[in-house]
Chains A and B, each alone.
Chain A
Amino acid sequence: MSEHRLPEPDRPWVMRTYAGHSSARESNELYRRNLEKGQTGLSVAFDLPTQTGYDPDHELARGEVGKVGVSIAHKGDMQTLLGGIPLDQMNTSMTINATAAWLLGLYMAVAEENGVDPGRLQGTTQNDIIKEFLSRGTYAFPPAPSMRLIRDMIAFTVDAVPKWNPINVCSYHLQEAGATPVQEIAYSLSTAQAVLDEVRSRVPEDTFPRVFGRISFFVNAGIRFVEEHAKLRALGELWEQLGRERYGVEDPRYLRLRYGVQVNSLGLTESQPENNVIRIVLEALAVTLGRNARARAIQLPAWNEALGLPRPWDQQWSLRIQQILAYETDLLEYPDIFEGSKVMKGLVEELVEGARAEMAVVAEHGGAVEAVDYMKTQLVESHRARIAAIESGEQKVIGQNAFTSTEPSPLREGEDAGIMTVDPGVERAQIEAVETWRSERDAAAVAAALEELTTAARDDSVNVMPATLAAARAGATTGEWAAALREVFGEYRAPTGVSGAAAAPDGAALAELREKVERVSTALGRRIKILVGKPGLDGHSNGAEQIAVRARDAGMDVVYEGIRLSPARIAQAAVQEGVHVVGLSILSGSHRELIPTVLHQLDEAGANVPVVVGGIIPPADEIALLEAGVARVYTPKDFEISRIMGDVVDLVADRYGVAAEAA
């Protein structure tokens, strides 16, 4: 037998496409077509109201229904979503966190109706709330009850749905928020540890190794693909060690790191978007090349990541990348190709050491839950450094800050400008549908089930899953489930992390900018004050954070309240704080509904301030926003933040009639 070939090629990983939009019906059609194309698992993208626990007709859901994912308000929606898909054979990954217990409840209720035994259900609920606080933003409850929900789900599924992965500890989103490889490993492992510590007391001792074995990870792979591969090996090593040393797990089956991947999207550009395909391929190599640290499941972003939502064809192209890797290349025929590599060994050692040190810092803060403020600040700081390196040209991004001359991209031609746009009529339809659902169900049964849920939630020693499942069966809605828990648990605003970001290094450009800010401020009578606001349910905070930090470094007074603000709260802050300019950031596609609302509310409140907007704004929408009264629009191609700042200062000088005086 040869040492350098496997007797049998390996089976490929599970291939998925992160998909879902509009209604359950449309998403179901999309899933079935994707499966036909050779996709081997499902990955459900929910819309933001579903992820944060609001029904389509809730005030905060406005503009967001069915936009970036599918709207699932009740058991009926879930039944439609999964129609015609054999649940005893499918492996379904659901990107769901704050409302994970509820969506699992709906999934189980539907399986039950379809006669599928819960013992046969396979899939994953993401359910990692710490990274929601740190990066992703779809949290609903304060830290302690959030951890309890995770604990209850794990303790429940380990026997009731034994093949389910109740949590996918995520490092993916940390990298998307700027994390270095060391931070990715350290913070995700610290999170896993916090979760395991929480569960340990709730399950019998002999069950615990199985619990450990059910924890899976969701990781990222960036463009430095050699180091990224090393990162996964390092994670595996540390995971095994954690299992053995902290939790006394000995069975090698339970100690093995299991992970799924979505490769890096943060580095995908708006400029020369076709280059993104090459990036995606290289990143896919990072998680497939070495057999000892190969992904169990992969989903890839598309070439048009930075333009807007992918169309089915764009996603098909990305699925084909996976299929070519798995079925055309010889990748799966060999044992681990890095075994014995000095380079790989050295890289792994470096990362292990770095991650250990950083985990110790988190532990000093009292563990991942207590260290959320600390970790968030570190992420904002890392991202600040990353962006500064790109701005200065030190970190090359082909087509964006290097080799920028280009032919026009034919991919962006065509009526749809190369992206998918969700029909705004979807929201209305979903609202009507949920109203109909409510009027047709057994109202008394729902009320009783929610009452039961509230009682369970009040008692920390009771597992909320049985009451959740009962509410799902009775026909309660997503918003009702979450409202019942909000009532008991209260709500929470995660830290913004911006105050602790280091000052940008002094440079000529920044010095000039500061002088300009000083001059304009003197002419105005007080320092330029800017409000950076994030309206709606959008959790993409990177842009807003970096703008806020740079505005401070340019010498402005900055008010930034974090994500998920109502237009009313933004307008009120603008007035009360007496700001000179309002900067809004929206990446989740709800700008067409929400920006005009903010403008209107500002008017109503009597705030006569210029408004600038940044985010994922397709060219056609940019024109509409400017016509509606927005002064400037910035998108990812405007990666030079100091230049944006200079522009904003000029705008302020101009609007307040001090341009000449401050010149």
Chain B
Amino acid sequence: MAVDGATLGRRLRERDTAAAPAALNLIEDRSPAGREQAAALLGEVSPGALGGEAPAHLIGVTGPPGAGKSSLLSALVDLWRGRDRTVAVLAVDPSSKRSGGSLLGDRARIDHDPADDGILIRSTAAGTRLGGLAPPTREATQALAAAFDLVVVETVGVGQSETDVEDVSDTVAVVVQPGSGDTLQFLKAGIMEVPDVLVVTKADQGGTALRARRDLAGALGALGCPETPVLAVSSLPPPTGVEELVEALEAHRSRLDVRAVRLRARRMAALADFTAEHGERALRALGGRRAAEAYLADQDPTLDASALGGRLEQRARSSA
């Protein structure tokens, strides 16, 4: 069953969406042989190999458990496919602390045509990782971005710590349901960062959604971000507000310096992975965070995060 990572990577680069499941199997593989193949795969879809940043729009969808993230994706996928845009969804669910196992439930909520190869839904478990993503999510995003028009990451319902999802997204949408005063408090207290787009779901349930929307918009105004869009949607059929949301997502992306954002994200990710794996001491050996960041800034901007991580390791070894 030897799977050739480089071939899969090249197929993705040629926008062969059928190569995606096997590519994801490799990326999730933790065995040394698997890691090696995955590195080869990722090399084929690095900005260097692609001749620039992948054109896909990377969207992070995050928010408290049960807020309606997956249902919203169902409505979004339907609309995007209607416009002939290919979509990959990476849905992350929590793992049981007790058993290490997981029930991956988002897929069930995302309605789609099984005969359509322009839509891919992949569920992964977060494992022991905090922050809403699964260990392979970043690499998976990178691989899928080569083949799909849109790559959407649905995080574990975390609520306030969407910092991780920022690293894999051009645009972050925070999804809350009406009556979730927490979000309002977190925003006001500065615990939560201001998202790119804020979505209030379950608008069909009446006045509370509109009130929530108004309160959140008010809070954003007070925080000095009055132009951050706050949208009310209903995802149950017939959906409402979803077209406006798509516009808001696109508008955000069109204002973005994608190259700069992704470059920064790659560097942050490389540093985070390095620290997670080798510890703060190893970071100190590099001269501390600042020095490591400066070092990364000198590297080839078309390298992907794992290649950058490799550079950090090399430097750590040579300075040891």
Partners in one complex: yes
Q: Mark B201-245, 1 if CB is under 8 A from A, else 0.
A: 000100000000000000000000000000000001110000000
Pairwise interchain contact A496-B96, C-beta atoms closer than 8 A: no
Closest to A573 in B: B107
Pairwise interchain contact A555-B100, C-beta atoms closer than 8 A: yes
Q: B77: shortest Cβ distance to chain A, in Å?
A: 13
Q: What count of chain B residues pass the 8 Å CB interface test?
A: 40
Chain A contacts of B102 at CB under 8 A? 552, 557-558
Pairwise interchain contact B107-A503, C-beta atoms closer than 8 A: no
Complex CA–CA separation, A551 to B103 (angstroms): 9
Complex CA–CA separation, A555 to B128 (angstroms): 13
Q: What total of A-B pairs shows CB separation below 8 Å? A: 113
Pairwise interchain contact A142-B99, C-beta atoms closer than 8 A: no
Secondary structure at the B interface, as helix, strand, loop or mixed, is: mixed
A100 contacts partner chain B, Cβ-Cβ < 8 Å: no
Pairwise interchain contact A566-B108, C-beta atoms closer than 8 A: no
Pairwise interchain contact B108-A561, C-beta atoms closer than 8 A: yes
Pairwise interchain contact B21-A575, C-beta atoms closer than 8 A: yes
Complex CA–CA separation, A526 to B14 (angstroms): 27
Chain A contacts of B54 at CB under 8 A? none
Q: Which of B20, B99, B108, B111 contacts A514 (CB 8 A)?
A: B99
Complex CA–CA separation, A548 to B103 (angstroms): 8
Pairwise interchain contact A577-B96, C-beta atoms closer than 8 A: no
Complex CA–CA separation, A514 to B101 (angstroms): 9
A9 contacts partner chain B, Cβ-Cβ < 8 Å: no
Closest to B111 in A: A493
B66 contacts partner chain A, Cβ-Cβ < 8 Å: yes
A559 contacts partner chain B, Cβ-Cβ < 8 Å: yes
Q: B65: shortest Cβ distance to chain A, in Å?
A: 9
Pairwise interchain contact B108-A560, C-beta atoms closer than 8 A: yes
Pairwise interchain contact B107-A558, C-beta atoms closer than 8 A: no
B51 contacts partner chain A, Cβ-Cβ < 8 Å: no
Chain A contacts of B28 at CB under 8 A? 525-526, 578
Pairwise interchain contact B30-A562, C-beta atoms closer than 8 A: no
Q: Which of B114-122, B266-274, B302-310 interfaces with chain A?
A: B114-122
Q: Which of A492, A552, A566 contacts B114 (CB 8 A)?
A: A566
A353 contacts partner chain B, Cβ-Cβ < 8 Å: no
Complex CA–CA separation, A560 to B106 (angstroms): 9
Q: Which of B34, B109, B122, B124 contacts A525 (CB 8 A)?
A: B34
Interface residues of B (CB under 8 A from A): 1, 20-22, 24-25, 28-31, 33-34, 66, 93, 95-96, 98-105, 107-109, 111, 114-115, 120-125, 204, 236-238
The 10 A-B pairs at the shortest CB distance, nearest first, are namely: A490-B237, A525-B29, A525-B31, A552-B101, A561-B108, A569-B114, A572-B114, A568-B114, A578-B25, A555-B101
21 contacts between A and B (CB under 8 A): A142-B237, A489-B237, A490-B236, A492-B236, A493-B109, A493-B111, A499-B105, A517-B100, A526-B28, A527-B100, A553-B101, A555-B101, A558-B102, A559-B104, A559-B107, A572-B114, A572-B115, A573-B121, A577-B123, A578-B21, A656-B1
Interface residues of A (CB under 8 A from B): 142, 144, 373, 489-493, 496, 498-499, 503, 506, 514, 517-518, 525-527, 548-549, 551-562, 566, 568-569, 571-573, 575-578, 656
